[in-house]
Structure 1
Amino acid sequence: MALSPRLEFRQAQSLTLTPQLMQSIRMLQLSHLELNEFVDAELLRNPLLEREDGSEPGDNESSEAPERSTEISAYEDTVDRGDRIQDADSIADGYDTAVDNVFPDQSAQDQLNPSSRLDRDGSSATGEAPDIDQFVASRPVLSDHLEAQANMLLRTTADRLIALHLIDGLNEAGYLVAEPSAIAEQLGAELADVEAVLEALQGCDPVGVFARTVPECLALQLRERDRLDPMMQALLGHLDMLAEHNMAGLMRAVGCDREDLNDMLAEIRLLDPRPGLAFDSGPVESVVPDVFVRKGPDGTWQIELNSETLPRVLVNRVYYATVTKKTRDPGEKAFLSDCLATANWLTKSLDQRAQTILKVAAEIVRQQDGFLTHGIAHLRPMTLKMVAETIEMHESTVSRVTSNKYLATPRGLFEMKYFFTTAIASSDGGSEHSAEAVRHRIRQLIEAETLADVLSDDTIAEMLQKEQGIDVARRTVAKYREGMNIPSSVIRRRQKKNLQATS
């Protein structure tokens, strides 16, 4: 059969993602802060959108406004008022006395500007309360604090420029993450000059900044206290043995007895391994729940969306109708039509987003009723697919809805992703166990152990199988234990021995 080009017509159905549909999908995974920023941007872009302030239509017309017989020009009223106001010197001359006798409690600036006076209750003369943010002291920033010290320590402009690049290379804890060689290459300076500036900056407050490792940070603080002797330097060189609580090996490596080691450890505990965290690195934002879960009078769970996190927008159709009647330009009419379509889409998308969050939260509460009633030991294994099939949605939609969303329950505030855990099979053929519940049980067993009975990972796996029928392997117990930052049984036994020896 010979191959030749030809034209064919075929009819097929396919789902096309329009830009608005893609934007609606992205809106599902936005947090309430990101959603409000997105809505604010749309309000600036679309003249037909406005925020709902909660007032009923017609409130402004029904309220009785004070009648004014004549309109007064704002300029004339301001000029007349300014002419009538006398300054402090003229008032004092009229009473033939000094200015301090007329205004004893006010500064000269307040006397010349009567509108800036504050009453005893804190309100201004105009009746408006002062902004409380103006009286809140701002916390110092680490970079500004160090830059001010560098300007006093360093004399040349070149050294100050190197110092600025070194300050930019610090992380939040105050450690230098930038390489001095890279800074020298970037500035075209000698590496010895960068090292000299770094050595000078390491004496800045807080002591310990510009260190590159934890031992160097502690050494800078000990040198400031004049306690960096050879024995302490040897101890800082074996911090890994200290982390493992290998006190016997640590005493042999340092060359000290038990009493000297306890004294040095007491001094190290007084140091700050992260000196930069004492400075403000940014505003701390509290987590606001998106959904409230409460116990109803009839014993069922009541689910309610947090109205404060939901932006309310309205479409001003009156303004649209008024403008479209007056305009004759086709371009302006097309612009208004696009704004109306975008406004309708936004209000509909916000409503669908709220309904989807409520539906997913309701299904999570239904499946995790045991956790809400009895605690973490009754947390059921749950996957995105289980929720998606129940509420008849796609699994990716449920994943987007549960991102950056929080549930306020009687058990505390939890992210929606917290309730989705893998399942661990039961040895007796019963219901499966949640991985989070297994972690909680492992933590309980380790917290209850004594020095004479430190549990190994194999022992914990056997106890879980005998007590609750949880079929879990030793390596799984080790993985969960390491994920909770719990050391091994050998290190825990050393910790308990050291604790018993020091007590």
Structure 2
Amino acid sequence: MISYSMNVQLAQKQSLVFTPQLQQAIKLLLLTNIDLSSYAEKMAEENPFLEVELPSRGSVESRNSITSMPSTSPQSDFDPVSLLVDTSGASFGARLFQQVEETLKNPFERKIGYAIASHVEPSGWLSLSTCALAESLGVDEKFVEQALTKLQSAEPSGLFARNLAECLRLQISTSDYDYAKMTIIIDNLPLVARGALTALRRKTGCHADDIRRLLQRLRSLDPKPGLALFNGIAPPVRQPDIITGKTLDGEWFVEMNQATLPIIKVDEVTGHKVRKLVNAPQDQAFVRDTLGNARWLSRAIAQRNETSIKIAAEIVRIQKPFLEHGIQHMRPLKLKTVADAVGVHESTISRVTSSLMMQTPQGTYPLKIFFSTAIELGGHDEGVSARVVREKIRSLVGAEVPGKPLSDETIVQELNRAGLNIARRTIAKYRKLDKIPSSFQRRRNYQLQGII
């Protein structure tokens, strides 16, 4: 017979509870400075006691973003978008709008042209389809196509293209002697990428020497004509979050980039005034909680910045040889090494280094690039960074004789002579990571370039 009984027992246990504030703190570690500014601004919209002073973006290129326009009839002469045009002549957007004004004279077409120009990437390519543009403008797609066709005659050639093939095709005059054959080459770019010379000869009806000449012309075309509008200076992907360098005394410093970092303030004065004015318990609770959230966010962002500085400072301390002498001197580094030195968990190091970028004397790099595994190096206890090995592989391939590209086995032998014990499969893995073709494919590429 089965008997049942009930009893009560006391037990102690530890558990980690992901409170909303903890989740928010983890999220802050994953944000770049620019993303942090946007996040803080959003929080300030919801919290009356939180003040956010956003960094000045005066030096950042303005894209003159125009995502939609009201439907306008062809007979309308009023052009509201023209009032937004930057006529300073210094920016990428200003140059694009200038092309619109010079190319499109009809007011209706010019409105469409402004919308097209606002969706052109720095490369010079149009990032939005004509169908989507027509829908946002409330006009027939044929009007967008007509305006785009006219804009594609602008300089530099290839501007306002929708893809690579169209960009290259726009750079060849229809009166060019090789226009038909070059068009066939451009329409078969996958064959060019594979180095399929025989297939290209069959499609164009050309001899091998003619194919090489056409491919040389193809290489002379500019796949990103929009960069010419920057006067040779391409816009950076984004500004760094952290800056490191040497002082006049030769000491290394690490600091947050104040040009991208928001300033967070809690309006304590207003908070105390409001608490004295409200009497209802629920209103007092709202003021207390809202003010508390503002204080917590301010502290959390300050803690995020402090943690980022500590991690970056430890990376700089370990990677001084790289910062002073270049990639060949990068040391192997693990997350645990920095975590132990800073006094945080490895996951925190991983989160911070996954998004932040640091400006150094050697260039601007993501923090995660400073971490790599160690590879055995003869006579050296520490080993050598995997990134150093990858750089050596790139250097060897870059210096190879075109007619005799180095095989993976030959690269292994060269590295062994330098004291690096590397397996052939490791060479193949690093070569693929750096998108270096095999020796066979490199030989084919050299043939396409007419080098051999």
* TM surpasses 0.5: yes
Match of 1:287 in 2: 239
Q: CA deviation at 1:419?
A: 0.5
C-alpha distance after superposition, 1:33-54 (max 9, x if no partner): 111122223333333333589x
| Secondary structure of 2:18's aligned partner | coil
* Residues 254 and 427 of structure 1, relative CA distance in 2, 3 Å threshold: farther
| Secondary structure of 2:244's aligned partner | strand
- Written as runs of structure 1 = structure 2, the 5 A alignment for 1:269-348 is 269=219, 271=221, 286-294=238-246, 297=249, 300-348=251-299
> Residue 261 in 1 paired to residue 211 in 2?
yes
| Secondary structure of 1:468's aligned partner | coil
Partner Cα separation in structure 1 for residue 283 and residue 42 of structure 2: 21
Match of 1:485 in 2: 435
**Amino acid in structure 2 at the alignment position of 1:383:** K
**Amino acid in structure 1 at the alignment position of 2:438:** S
Partner Cα separation in structure 2 for residue 355 and residue 261 of structure 1: 59
> Residue 20 in 1 paired to residue 21 in 2?
yes
**Amino acid in structure 1 at the alignment position of 2:51:** E
Partner Cα separation in structure 1 for residue 148 and residue 273 of structure 2: 66
Contact 1:426 / 1:471 at 8 angstroms: preserved in 2?
no
Q: CA deviation at 1:370?
A: 2.2
Among candidates 379, 382, 385, match of residue 434 of structure 1: 385
* Residues 13 and 141 of structure 1, relative CA distance in 2, 3 Å threshold: farther
Contact 2:412 / 2:424 at 8 angstroms: preserved in 1?
yes
Contact 1:293 / 1:407 at 8 angstroms: preserved in 2?
no
**Amino acid in structure 1 at the alignment position of 2:306:** Q
Match of 2:110 in 1: none
| Secondary structure of 1:431's aligned partner | strand
- Written as runs of structure 1 = structure 2, the 5 A alignment for 1:84-483 is 135=88, 139=93, 205=153, 224-225=174-175, 227=177, 231-232=181-182, 235-236=185-186, 239-240=189-190, 242-244=192-194, 251=201, 254-257=204-207, 260-269=210-219, 271=221, 286-294=238-246, 297=249, 300-426=251-377, 430-451=381-402, 453-474=404-425, 476-483=426-433
C-alpha distance after superposition, 1:90-130 (max 9, x if no partner): xxxxxxxxxxxxxxxxxxxxxxxxxxxxxxxxxxxxxxxxx
Partner Cα separation in structure 1 for residue 173 and residue 262 of structure 2: 56
C-alpha distance after superposition, 1:319-347 (max 9, x if no partner): 33333333322232112211221122122
C-alpha distance after superposition, 1:49-105 (max 9, x if no partner): 33589xxxxxxxxxxxxxxxxxxxxxxxxxxxxxxxxxxxxxxxxxxxxxxxxxxxx
Q: CA deviation at 1:460?
A: 0.6
* Residues 379 and 40 of structure 1, relative CA distance in 2, 3 Å threshold: same
| Secondary structure of 1:36's aligned partner | helix
Q: TM-score, normalised by structure 2?
A: 0.69
* Residues 351 and 215 of structure 1, relative CA distance in 2, 3 Å threshold: closer
Contact 1:427 / 1:471 at 8 angstroms: preserved in 2?
no
Match of 1:108 in 2: none
C-alpha distance after superposition, 1:342-377 (max 9, x if no partner): 122122212211221121112212222221233211
Match of 2:49 in 1: 48
Match of 1:77 in 2: none
Quote the RMSD (CA, aligned, Å): 5.0
| Secondary structure of 1:424's aligned partner | strand
* Residues 50 and 179 of structure 1, relative CA distance in 2, 3 Å threshold: closer
How many residues are treated as equivalent by the alignment? Answer: 406
Q: CA deviation at 1:301?
A: 2.7
Partner Cα separation in structure 1 for residue 194 and residue 28 of structure 2: 47
Instruction: Name which one, 1 or 2, has greater alpha-carbon Rg.
Output: 1
Partner Cα separation in structure 1 for residue 374 and residue 195 of structure 2: 35
Contact 2:266 / 2:294 at 8 angstroms: preserved in 1?
yes
Contact 1:176 / 1:211 at 8 angstroms: preserved in 2?
no
* Residues 352 and 217 of structure 1, relative CA distance in 2, 3 Å threshold: closer
- Higher mean Cα deviation, 352-361 or 234-243? 234-243
Partner Cα separation in structure 2 for residue 140 and residue 7 of structure 1: 79
Unaligned runs of at least 5 residues, structure 2: 55-83, 107-116, 132-140
Partner Cα separation in structure 1 for residue 406 and residue 146 of structure 2: 48
